[in-house]
Amino acid sequence: MKHQIQSHHCGRYARFNNRREFLKKAGSGCGLLALADLLKHEGLLAADSPADTPGRALNPMAVAPPHYPAKARSVIWLFMEGAPSSVDLFDPKPELTRRDGQRISIDVFNGNPGPLMKSPFTFDQHGQSGAWVCEKYPNVARHVDDFAFIKSLYSESNDHVPALYQINTGIARPGFPSAGAWVTYGLGSESRNLPGYVVLGNSSGVKGGPLNWSAGFLPTSYQGTLFRSSGAPILNLTRPEHVTLQDQRAQLDFLHQANTAHLQLHAGEPDLLARIQSFELAYRMQSEASDLTDFSTESQQTLEMYGLNQKVSRNIGTKCLMARRLIERGVRFVQVYSDGEWDAHSDLKGNHSHHCASTDMPIHGLLTDLKRRGLWDSTLVVWGGEFGRMPVSQGSGGRDHNPNGFMAWMAGAGIRGGTSFGETDEIGYKAETDRVSVHDLHATMLHLLGVDHKRLTYLHNGRSHRLTDVAGDVIRKILA
């Protein structure tokens, strides 16, 4: 009995000790929570998420700090829609030439594959790096020592629309936020009078449409804004002649007052906040965006450098020049789609010759201009399509879709130029060495912008989503 009483006493003492420790720790925890809240409201505590950035409650595009010092401030993505052929542009395969006309067992998208087909183009080595470039890209070839070639990309779909969704959003299904939306959600934009994310689309329409630059489940403020490359960048941007500036300002002030009152009753409603901001942004854009396509201040040398003096390259040259002007004004993310499609199911020689001619001078002009205007070290340039093309022939001298192995290149801020990463097999069919997923590509892009792809998340339907889903590794060997 004595032993039992002692045990009971010891148990009571131990429980009292634990209770005292609990109260002590709970008190300390409450104090720390109060301190954290105070520091947060004083702007002295790092934001837990982009939404916590001071000013975001009123301005969704308020600049948010990166996770670590960034190499790049902005991105220009040169999107070659329709899928260019790696083995015909930057990745010649001697074995493909040697085995030209030989039939192999291979899975293709449209069935009835032809024999292996060598490239119709000749290649030369360029720069100190000795990179191979086809004869149709003579001006792009002048910049190979600035490029990091990624030659071992692969994706999941051999159909254009889901492949476009995947390269843009990381997921081969519609409804997910695009890379540009994630970037502007994470970092905001330095431009107050222009959208943070601008798309200069394919003149014939991009397959899959606006879902390629959608904000998905992110607030709609972060979706891409489609600009035209001639005339007013956005339709109905000009104020009607019968409406005075004072009347328009009064209308906007009234709408702002009514919407703000409504927002107070529905606090935290992102789409309502985005609507309020869109009215104000449209008003400011009337003066800022209207002169984007007015190139009268550009020198004749600059216009020629972008290929605006040639019919074949004028449209792409205009978009590349607009891209430079946009990032000069603080726009965070610009996506430039080539016109037409590199979708060469027949006559690859004619198709790729045309598209090389339409993009060669504009890309050269853009890269040269970024350097001479001091934008090179703060701008990441990405070139590529949604997948590649098969090493076998299709139809009359064409190539079918190939998601198994394709390429892209990066240049500019934070990139170690004159490098090449990964390889496809000896005929260019499958990524074989140092395979790179779309998630890896996106993780590398975010890393150069100072963003840890694992920490850029958004809670949706009970799950924290991110651009790279549950995968992705930074391609560190191409970084400076």
Which of 24-33, 121-130, 356-365, 375-384 comes out lowest in average pLDDT?
Answer: 24-33
79-83, 195-199, 252-256: which has the minimum mean pLDDT? 252-256
Q: Token digits for 183?
A: 């970037």
What local confidence, expressed as pLDDT, does residue 372 receive? Answer: 97
Residues 215 and 332 in one domain: yes
Element counts in the chain: helices (H) and strands (E)? 10, 16
**pLDDT for residue 3 is more than 60:** no
The predicted model gives 37-62 an average pLDDT of 63
Query: Is residue 44's pLDDT more than 60?
Result: no
Q: Average pLDDT for residues 239-245, to the nearest whole number?
A: 60
Q: Percent of the chain scored above 70 by pLDDT?
A: 77
Lowest mean pLDDT among 93-102, 104-113, 123-132: 104-113
Same-domain check for residues 36 and 86: no
How large is the average pLDDT for residues 427-442?
Answer: 98
The arithmetic mean of pLDDT across residues 247-262, rounded, is: 62
Alpha helices (H) along 266-339: 270-288, 300-305, 311-328
With respect to residue 136, please indicate whether it lies within any of the assigned structural domains: yes
Q: Are 387 and 344 in contact (CB under 8 A)?
A: no
Q: Which structural domain, as residue segments, surrounds residue 199?
A: 74-237+289-478
Q: Please indicate, yes or no, whether residues 40 and 144 belong to a single structural domain of this protein.
A: no
| Biggest CA pair distance of the chain | 105
Are residues 40 and 99 both part of a single domain? no
Closest CA to 225 of 285, 315, 294: 285
Report the alpha-carbon distance of residue 326 to residue 386 in Å, rounded.
24
pLDDT of residue 9: 43
What is the pLDDT, as a whole number, of residue 90? 98
Q: Is the pLDDT of residue 209 over 50?
A: yes
DSSP for 168-236? Answer: HHSSSSSSS--HHHHHHHHH--S-SSS-SEEEE--TT--TTGGGGG--TTS-GGGS-EEE-SSSSSSTT
More confident residue, 163 or 3: 163
CA nearest 167: which of 341, 340, 382?
382
**pLDDT at position 126:** 98
pLDDT > 90: what percent of the chain? 71
Domain assignment of residue 93, yes or no: yes
- Could you tell me if 34 and 108 lie in one domain? no
pTM over 0.75: yes
Lowest mean pLDDT segment, chosen from 266-280, 335-349, 417-431, 436-450: 266-280
Looking at residue 42, what is its pLDDT? 41
| Res. 56 pLDDT band, cuts 50 70 90 | confident
Q: What is the mean pLDDT of the chain?
A: 86
Residue 51 forms part of a structural domain = no
CATH number of the CATH domain containing 204: 3.40.720.10
pLDDT band of residue 39 (cuts 50, 70, 90) is very low
User: If we measure between CA atoms, which residue out of 169, 198, 182 comes closest to residue 281?
Assistant: 198
For the chain, the domain total comes to: 2
DSSP state of 433: E
36 and 126 share one domain: no
State phi, psi for 312 to the nearest 5 degrees: -65, -30
* Whether residue 475 has pLDDT greater than 70: yes
pLDDT digits (tens, 9 = 90+) for 298-326: 999 999 999 999 999 999 999 999 999 99
